[in-house]
Chain A
């Protein structure tokens, strides 16, 4: 799936990334990433800490500025296909003491559809309640979110993604620190999504479960080390390449550039 030849853009592809580079203060976080994802796939993004996995997802959604690169979602720019993209951020990225109920948080997934200044109506709350039932925490709908366990918080986020009814989902570590029952529930939902023709790109840490959960994988460590069907790409050799060496020389070069800038 690494694009050796740049094909004419295929409007059916949920995600197509070319030459994506994101840098903080000149220091590249991800570098020259290229990727094509076909529809109806569960894609795992694997890589060590600091490999730029979250940044990669955020760059797709224009949440971080990119230094270069082109991104197409269903053949269009992110801005135009925004309504077809659902995002599940890391659980720690929000304040769980915020004064809102579980149902409120799920309803937030519909805010884009409801539109500016329009109130949340009963049908929206009903849709949110249904999504909560689907992930198995319907009875907690009216609790304050601080009263949830970690697994229940993650399910809340998943329910919020479900009400978004997107075609492409970007999920940042949905399996991080959840109980076994929640993990099973998430996998179940992911498979249902896939059956409905949706695509999910999921950052994942547990290498043992990769072959079981994902159709294809992207091995990421600043650049794409390898990507493709799990049974072909998810090999010991590729994993060693991914987890073994960061591009240390590149790091050193950018560090030298930074030093030069300071002394000038």
Chain B
């Protein structure tokens, strides 16, 4: 932790605060971009504002002026307008028209900035990657306290975004979910679209000098995408996304200081690390999310297939027992029919033996009465389904076994009773085997 020994709240504290404000400000509208499936419009706008910045910069020669801000916001909005035009008149999809508009505007901005670079202090690298590290170089006096200008601007933008999202929560939600209904309710979906575009553009402009206009895209997209995996309500999604954004920013600065020192380097770019941390958080959540995570899904599937195998073992033993009462079957015999793995099969049979469904003997396993009841239920489900598929579904007799084999594992008492009713209480299944009574 020697890299953190130089930590100074007067310096690093402001950087972290600037990062947090920027990330939170971007994540708020980002939620709606994500849900409207236009996350890349945030990307497009944050690139396209470049010529707006450049023009305003060339005209006023200053980075802090209001005209520069307005110029960039106007160009940002034009991006949204042009994108829609090109999509309508060029008959191409939104992605392509966005690509045309923002690369063209971005290129224009780049050309202008490079031209201007000789005269003014605005370099392309700073525009692209930002310079959070220089946060404290430009301080403003507010009521006797020295506050970095960047922090002041980002705080204002965060408040604006927060107010818009809270005030128009209902309207933004409806126009994202069902634009047609919104419009028929008198909440113009188009108006809400442009309101969203305005705050996206404002956020992009305010963020460009702190995290840069590429990495702000990460904050528009990644925290909301992470929150989307964790939540089921829009309100909680927005709150969680803001928290994740704040955590990414904090972790970003800390790891920008710490991680390089592990490899013997000095600190690296904070804004880069912020985006990286957000990405890592997303990856971790997509693996470990409690409902939709990859791991839990694999686990659920495994558990289900184990349950099915366990039931198949008992049902098989029941069928063997039908032919020869009190039969003793070895694991090998059971496995040969079910084509199942040896380890899992013996494990599951041991479990059945613990539960008293079977008795383990020297030569194998024998059904107990409770095991016989369990097997009878499964086989009854299976044969009732076969009967149902043939008599009600008109499926050929040689094709029913596979389907019934799946359905039997998801059929409870109630469904069996209904099957029995619908098939008018058969005694034999289509193959001529008896259907065990309930």
Q: Interface on A for B, CB 8 Å cutoff?
A: 25, 58, 61-63, 82-83, 85, 87, 89, 93-95, 98-101, 104-105, 108-109, 111-112, 114, 116-120, 144, 160
Contact = CB atoms under 8 A, between A and B. Distances in A.
A25 B88 CA distance: 10
A111 B170 contact: yes
A58 B179 CA distance: 12
A72 B184 CA distance: 15
Q: Which among B37, B91, B186 has the greatest number of chain A C-beta atoms within 10 A?
A: B186
Ranked 3 nearest A-B pairs via Cβ: A112-B185, A144-B232, A87-B184
Contacts of B37: 95
Contact of A61 (B35, B184, B237): B184
Contacts of B180: 58, 61, 63, 87, 89, 93
Given A99-B232, A100-B234, A93 B168 contact: no
Nearest to A105: B177
A114 B187 contact: no
28 contacts: A25-B91, A61-B183, A63-B184, A82-B186, A87-B181, A89-B180, A93-B180, A95-B37, A95-B177, A98-B35, A98-B234, A99-B228, A99-B233, A99-B234, A100-B177, A100-B234, A104-B233, A108-B177, A108-B185, A111-B182, A111-B185, A112-B184, A112-B185, A116-B187, A117-B167, A117-B168, A119-B170, A144-B233
Interface in B144-178: 167-168, 170-171, 173-174, 176-178
Contacts of B91: 25
A160 B174 CA distance: 12
B231 interface: yes
Nearest to A87: B184
Given A111-B170, A111-B171, A119-B170, A98 B177 contact: yes
Contacts, number: 80
B35 A95 contact: yes
A62 B186 CA distance: 11
A99 B186 contact: no
Interface residues of B, number: 27
Nearest to B169: A119
Nearest to A113: B185
A36 to B, nearest CB: 22
Nearest to A63: B180
Contact of A108 (B35, B181, B183, B231): B181
Given A61-B184, A99-B234, A144-B232, A94 B170 contact: no
Nearest to B236: A99
Given A100-B233, A101-B233, A82 B184 contact: yes
B178 A94 contact: yes
A204 to B, nearest CB: 19
Given A108-B178, A112-B186, 14 more contacts: A58-B180, A82-B184, A82-B186, A87-B181, A87-B184, A93-B180, A94-B178, A98-B234, A99-B234, A99-B236, A104-B173, A104-B233, A108-B177, A108-B181
Given A82-B186, A95-B35, A99-B231, A89 B173 contact: no
B206 to A, nearest CB: 24
Contacts of A101: 232-233
Contacts of A93: 178, 180
Interface string B342-385: 00000000000000000000000000000000000000000000
A114 B170 contact: yes
A89 B178 contact: yes
Given A100-B173, A114-B170, A117-B168, A63 B187 contact: no
Contacts of A109: 181
Contacts of A118: 170
Nearest to B89: A25
Given A82-B186, A87-B181, A108-B177, A99 B237 contact: yes
B170 A112 contact: no
A100 B35 CA distance: 11
A109 B181 CA distance: 8
A63 B183 contact: yes
A15 B180 CA distance: 20
Contacts of A63: 180, 183-184
Nearest to B183: A63
B184 A85 contact: yes
Contacts of B181: 87, 89, 108-109, 160
A10 B176 CA distance: 37
Nearest to A89: B180
A144 B237 CA distance: 13
Q: Which among B167, B181, B234 has the greatest number of chain A C-beta atoms within 10 A?
A: B181
A58 B167 CA distance: 29
Contacts of B182: 111
Nearest to B182: A111
Contacts of B187: 111-112, 116
Contacts of B173: 100, 104, 108
A109 B185 CA distance: 8
A105 B177 CA distance: 9
A112 B177 CA distance: 15
Interface in B226-240: 228, 231-234, 236-237
A116 B171 contact: yes
A112 B173 CA distance: 13
Contacts of A144: 232-233
A63 B183 CA distance: 8
Q: Which among B178, B228, B233, B237 has the greatest number of chain A C-beta atoms within 10 A?
A: B178
A100 B185 CA distance: 19
B147 to A, nearest CB: 31
A108 B170 CA distance: 8
Nearest to B176: A98
Q: Which among B174, B183, B184 has the greatest number of chain A C-beta atoms within 10 A?
A: B184
Nearest to A172: B180
Contacts of B184: 61, 63, 82, 85, 87, 112
Contacts of B167: 117
A108 B174 contact: yes
A120 B170 contact: yes
Contacts of A116: 168, 171, 187
